[in-house]
Amino acid sequence: MVRREHGTPAPSLRERKRERTRQALVDAAAELFERKGYDGTTVAEIAAAAEIGTRTFFSYFASKEDILFPDSDARARATIEVIGRRNPAEGPVDVLTRALETVVETRADMFGPMAAARTRLSRTVPAVQSKALQIQMSAQREIARALQAAFPDELDPVTAAALTGALTGAVSGALDALMNEGDAAAAPVDADRLRAQLQQATELALRLFRRGV
């Protein structure tokens, strides 16, 4: 297998093809949800638009709801990895802030067409709203456990959960408001502006948890 710098294995041809198909499904779903609505779009139509069979769709996503959240697990894993590699001088808020910056810079799905569709449908479709809350709570629990394990002398499970909840609540609330603003303006969301405002919102939410405050 070909290796990238620092010894990281490069994706194989099969992995690259699979990722292209997965992204084609996400792009097709975002376009169909925008044009036909969530309830008016079928899994078969998404698969056909991505030029694969309906059965193949389910080797990538378990349901139509799941395709709205294609990288939620990756964002949680990225956050936990940053916590695990924390600098000894960093406090809990510092490492969470840096984790958010890393995720915002590397996960383009937070700002693309599917992100806009996901935010809009989470307000209007009960099944999507339920899925969004389930994913958020699951990620919140995992991140809180990792944070408490990284700072056992500073955080108990309750405090770690409160700190993580402040982060995830600020992120989801700010994204909802910013995406809603984009809908109202009938214009694409400015990703750079969104990143800056997202970081500002989380800094505000976390400042009371900083050491010495």
Looking at the structure, tell me whether residues 79 and 182 fall in a common domain.
yes
SS3 for 154?
coil
Q: What is the pLDDT of residue 109?
A: 66
Cα 189 → chain centroid: 16
Q: Domain of 139: which CATH number?
A: 1.10.357.10
Residue 68 confidence (pLDDT) above 60: yes
112: CB partners within 8 A, 6+ apart: 30
Looking at the structure, tell me whether residues 153 and 73 fall in a common domain.
yes
Average pLDDT over residues 41-47: 97
For the entire predicted model, the pTM comes to 0.79
Average pLDDT over residues 36-55: 95
SS3 for 122?
helix
In 3D space, the residue among 99, 110, 96 whose CA is nearest the CA of residue 164 turns out to be: 96
Query: Maximum distance among all alpha carbons in the chain?
Result: 57
Looking at the structure, tell me whether residues 28 and 77 fall in a common domain.
no
Looking at the structure, tell me whether residues 123 and 98 fall in a common domain.
yes
Q: Six-digit token pair at 200?
A: 């500002």
Looking at the structure, tell me whether residues 49 and 93 fall in a common domain.
no
- Counting other chains too, the contacts that 158-161 makes at CB distance below 8 Å and 24 or more residues apart are 160/92
Q: Domain of 53: which CATH number?
A: 1.10.10.60
pLDDT band at 24 (very low <50, low <70, confident <90, very high): very high
Residue 207 confidence (pLDDT) above 70: yes
SS3 for 51?
coil
Q: Six-digit token pair at 24?
A: 């084609």
Looking at the structure, tell me whether residues 39 and 138 fall in a common domain.
no
Higher pLDDT pick, 202 / 210: 202
Q: Last residue of some domain: 64, 96, 113?
A: 64
| Cα(2)–Cα(16) distance, integer angstroms | 13
Residue 2 confidence (pLDDT) above 70: no
Looking at the structure, tell me whether residues 84 and 133 fall in a common domain.
yes
| % pLDDT > 70, the chain | 86
Beta bridge partners of 3: 9
- Read off the pLDDT of residues 89-144 as tens digits, 9 standing for 90 and up: 889 999 998 888 888 776 656 777 888 888 889 888 999 999 989 999 999 999 99
Looking at the structure, tell me whether residues 105 and 83 fall in a common domain.
yes
78: Cα within 13 Å, side-chain hemisphere: 16
In 3D space, the residue among 209, 117, 115 whose CA is nearest the CA of residue 163 turns out to be: 209
Query: What's the whole-number average pLDDT of the chain?
Result: 84
Looking at the structure, tell me whether residues 120 and 204 fall in a common domain.
yes
Looking at the structure, tell me whether residues 117 and 59 fall in a common domain.
no
Looking at the structure, tell me whether residues 158 and 74 fall in a common domain.
yes
Q: What is the pLDDT of residue 10?
A: 76
> What is each CA distance from 80 to 86, 88, 100, 151, 166, in whole angstroms?
10, 16, 11, 13, 16
Q: Which amino acid is at 177?
A: A
Residue 187 confidence (pLDDT) above 70: no
In 3D space, the residue among 133, 137, 98, 132 whose CA is nearest the CA of residue 115 turns out to be: 132
Higher pLDDT pick, 143 / 15: 143
Q: Last residue of some domain: 40, 64, 88?
A: 64
pLDDT band at 194 (very low <50, low <70, confident <90, very high): confident
Length of the chain equals: 213
Q: Last residue of some domain: 64, 88, 103?
A: 64
Residue 41's domain spans which residues? Answer: 5-64
Structurally, the chain folds into a number of domains equal to 2
Looking at the structure, tell me whether residues 18 and 92 fall in a common domain.
no
Neighbours of 139 (CB within 10 A): 19
Which range of 2-11, 39-48, 111-120 scores highest in mean pLDDT? It is 39-48
Residue ranges of E strands in 68-180: none
Q: What is the pLDDT of residue 212?
A: 45
Higher pLDDT pick, 74 / 204: 74
| Cα(198)–Cα(171) distance, integer angstroms | 6
